[in-house]
């Protein structure tokens, strides 16, 4: 995860009343980080959600999209203050969101990043720790701890 996320890309207590609001806030944060227009990011995310929900179950969503002009895959992570309806596949509300934005030509890198995030967030104890963390630094440490100790 070290290559996907920075401590500045973490929203530890995101307030959002619904899916659209959560995606808007995350697009705003991504925009600050990657220097692209918030609206362009938001549109890409909404377009992807129209194809099918990125709410993967167990309170987790992994919205993603491809944008021109990116040099690599970028991530933004949010822990929501209160779970929201995300049209998830198991109909459970979502409170952990890991947003991924990839270059248009990313191909396999995009899929590898999705697989890594998905694997990490399938770990129930990891999710419990993330839900219990109040600060961006604590969340960042959790998200990157395995790679720091097991460089692979």
Record the tokens describing residue 88, joined without a space. 């998830």
Scan for tokens 């549109």, then name that residue: 43
- 77 strand-pairing partners: 10, 98
- 98 strand-pairing partners: 77
Q: What does the pLDDT read at residue 149? A: 53
Tens digits of residue pLDDT in 66-109 = 999 999 999 999 999 999 999 999 999 999 999 999 999 888 99
CA distance 5 to 81: 20
Average pLDDT over residues 97-124: 94
Q: What does the pLDDT read at residue 145? A: 87
Question: Please, what are the domains in the chain?
Answer: 7-149 (3.40.930.10)
Mean pLDDT of all residues belonging to the chain: 94
Contacts of 145 (CB under 8 A, 6+ apart): none
Contacts of 70 (CB under 8 A, 6+ apart): 34, 36, 101, 102, 103, 104, 106
Looking only at the bridges linking them, the beta strands covering 60-61 and 94-103 are: parallel
Q: Is the pTM of this model over 0.75?
A: yes
The residues that are catalytic are: 64
């Amino acid at each position: 995860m070290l290559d996907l996320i920075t401590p500045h890309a973490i929203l530890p207590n995101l307030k959002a009343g619904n899916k659209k609001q959560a995606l808007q806030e995350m697009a705003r944060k991504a925009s600050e980080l990657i220097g692209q227009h918030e609206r362009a990011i938001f549109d890409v995310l909404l377009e992807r959600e129209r194809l099918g929900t990125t709410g993967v179950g167990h309170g987790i969503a992994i919205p993603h999209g491809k944008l021109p002009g990116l040099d690599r895959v970028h991530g933004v992570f949010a822990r929501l203050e209160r779970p929201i309806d995300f049209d998830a596949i198991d109909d459970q509300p979502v409170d952990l969101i890991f947003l991924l934005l990839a270059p248009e030509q990313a191909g396999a890198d995009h899929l590898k990043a999705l697989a890594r995030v998905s694997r990490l967030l399938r770990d129930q104890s990891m999710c419990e720790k993330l839900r219990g963390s109040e600060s961006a630094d604590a969340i960042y440490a959790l998200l990157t701890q395995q790679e720091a100790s097991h460089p692979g």
